[in-house]
Amino acid sequence: MTKTKLTNARLAKGISQEELADLIGMTQSNYSRRENGHKKISEVEWIRIAKELGVSKEEIYEPDEDPAPKSDALKMLQFTMPNFILEHIELLKKENKMLKEKLKQFKNQNINS
């Protein structure tokens, strides 16, 4: 989300992104990512920017938007497991159970020997 207050304040002062970026010690591309909402602006950066624009932080501050609700992120992770994979898992469970039983029998034989 573009930081409209910040952009408007910068333009009102007649300062380019490149000029403001130089004043606060970063590249124009890094500043642009912040002003356009692609990267969060740290507290220290907000203070530096406000100082260089000659305004209070509160006049230009806009909170960052959360990218997506967590429920949407979880929905993206859900998918349907193909049947052949489920069948193979069941086969592996049966084989695992059988091997555990054989191992138990083997241990019992060695104890009794």
* Per-position DSSP letters for 12-67, written without gaps between them: HTT--HHHHHHHHTS-HHHHHHHHTTSSPPPHHHHHHHHHHHTS-HHHH--PPPPS
The answer to the question of residue 75 being in a domain is: no
- Claim: this prediction has a pTM higher than 0.95: no
Which range of residues forms the domain containing residue 90?
80-112
Domain count across the chain: 2
Q: CA 41 → CA 4, 59, 110, distances in Å?
A: 14, 15, 68
- Rounded Cα distance between 33 and 64, Å, is 12
pLDDT at 82: 82
pLDDT at 62: 94
pLDDT in tens, 45-64: 999 999 999 999 999 999 98
- As a whole-number percent, the residues of the chain with pLDDT over 90 amount to 69
Both 53 and 93 in a single domain?
no
Range with the lowest mean pLDDT among 4-8, 64-68, 74-78, 95-99?
A: 74-78
